[in-house]
A and B are shown apart, each in its own frame.
Chain A
């Protein structure tokens, strides 16, 4: 009898604890369901439909995915290109006809952008962290200075960089023009070969616009990467440096034989995080270039925004969103699979 009462009391207590636990979870759970899980499920459904926000979605099956990813082949165009004297590569390009060529332009831009940001942020961040990992006076100030762009809002940074990149009166072209003018006065005019001011249209010419965005994002990312690298650098045991120095290792030997191998888990982390955020790039082209000029900064997320929210093709836009998800998932998976070959785990 007593045992039964005790069991009953424990059971009641557990039930009450469970209810309390769920109540504590509820705000977060509701937020997750309302703002993430349900919209994700709806977007997945829309990706199989023709939906313009105003009329009832019409089920299309895989048509949206086929439109984005599908290609057809035009042997006639291949032959014509060869007859016109175009290269074999150009002829193959003419032979393959994507169903939605703009999607492939956006995909190419996104991949180039991601690669560019990885290169222009990780390497400088690593070198900066290495340089700043010392006990020189004012080091805290320099570290804070490099970190400032991370806390600045993307919108504010983008507007400032818009001004920096302005062709006619921007800071960058003013510096380049001033430097060229100074060099001409100093050397080149005297030897009869004055340098010509390139007067670069950073954001207005297709050949420079994507690079300009890469540079701006890298500037904004370097601070974060540097802080992570710095923390990892400071976790390397001092006795390893001492032992290497006693053995006569140079600064470069220490860098490449001790620091870099021990930092590979951190490098991998930064690599994955930067890849994921770069593939989702939206704000910079939205604010600075609107995907132009000539689609040169049209990224895949900006393209899905155009399709979904500017052209009201919500079904196709949703399918593009899921393609971006799949792309990021596959690339991250490959990164993890390849990490075993170069990431040093203790």
Chain B
């Protein structure tokens, strides 16, 4: 897997932890569930049974190796499935992520459209928004594998459910029941906290330069003053 936060974050969540505390006002990486998940991840990649090279910008395995047929499975987002579908060298399918001590886990991503309250062109913006969220356009976006429809109209929902980035949408539909939506509900500076404080310390775990406890503590020490 790559070192993208969505993937190491999945281990945190499936271990029973969270990136943030319950009201999202502090770092949650030092919570027992988070440590359990991160430790499982570290053991998986760095322990005696290391199943794959640890992630890094070019380390780890992913799309390229999967297409080359050198790895059997790898975690990724639904938006990558159209390019995977173009690969017809072998049969492949999507399944739900394995269940951890914290239960099932996955992320929920969606694309929200907003209009600036101070815009000088509210009518024009509204026209663009209606076009973007029309069932036709939503169907085109769904075919790219991205975004749950922003429009609740049945036609838009049907277009999404019937789109086939992978042949079988069931794992994604099942995932909606337990998916975690971190970013859209988080009001702090995501890049400062997750990119600036969490990620460098997670990198240290993968590089073997810090234990899970040390990295989680350092990440929270750096991040907590940044929560507003």
Query: Which A residues form the contact surface with B (CB < 8 A)?
Result: 101-102, 162, 165-168, 201, 203-207, 288-290, 292-295, 306, 310-311, 313
Contact = CB atoms under 8 A, between A and B. Distances in A.
Summarize A's interface: helix, strand, loop or mixed: loop
B207 A166 contact: no
Nearest to A167: B59
A204 B59 contact: yes
A120 B222 CA distance: 34
A289 B57 contact: yes
27 contacts: A102-B196, A102-B222, A167-B56, A168-B58, A168-B59, A203-B57, A203-B58, A204-B59, A204-B207, A205-B56, A205-B207, A206-B203, A206-B204, A206-B207, A207-B209, A292-B57, A292-B199, A292-B203, A293-B57, A293-B203, A293-B204, A294-B209, A306-B196, A310-B191, A310-B195, A311-B196, A313-B192
B192 A311 contact: yes
Given A101-B222, A206-B207, 17 more contacts: A102-B196, A166-B58, A167-B58, A168-B58, A201-B56, A203-B58, A205-B56, A207-B209, A288-B57, A289-B57, A292-B3, A293-B206, A294-B209, A295-B200, A295-B203, A306-B191, A311-B189
Interface in B164-184: none
Contacts of A306: 191, 195-196
Contacts of A310: 191, 195
Counting chain A CB atoms within 10 Å of each CB, the highest count among B58, B191, B200 belongs to B58
Interface string B1-17: 00100000000000000
A293 B191 CA distance: 16
Contacts of B58: 162, 165-168, 203-204
B178 to A, nearest CB: 31
A163 to B, nearest CB: 9
B132 to A, nearest CB: 21
Contacts of B204: 206, 293-294
Counting chain B CB atoms within 10 Å of each CB, the highest count among A294, A306, A313 belongs to A294
Contacts of B191: 306, 310-311
A204 B209 contact: no
Contacts of A101: 222
A168 B207 contact: no
A293 B196 contact: no
A249 to B, nearest CB: 51
Contacts of B196: 102, 306, 311
Contacts of A102: 196, 222
A201 B55 CA distance: 11
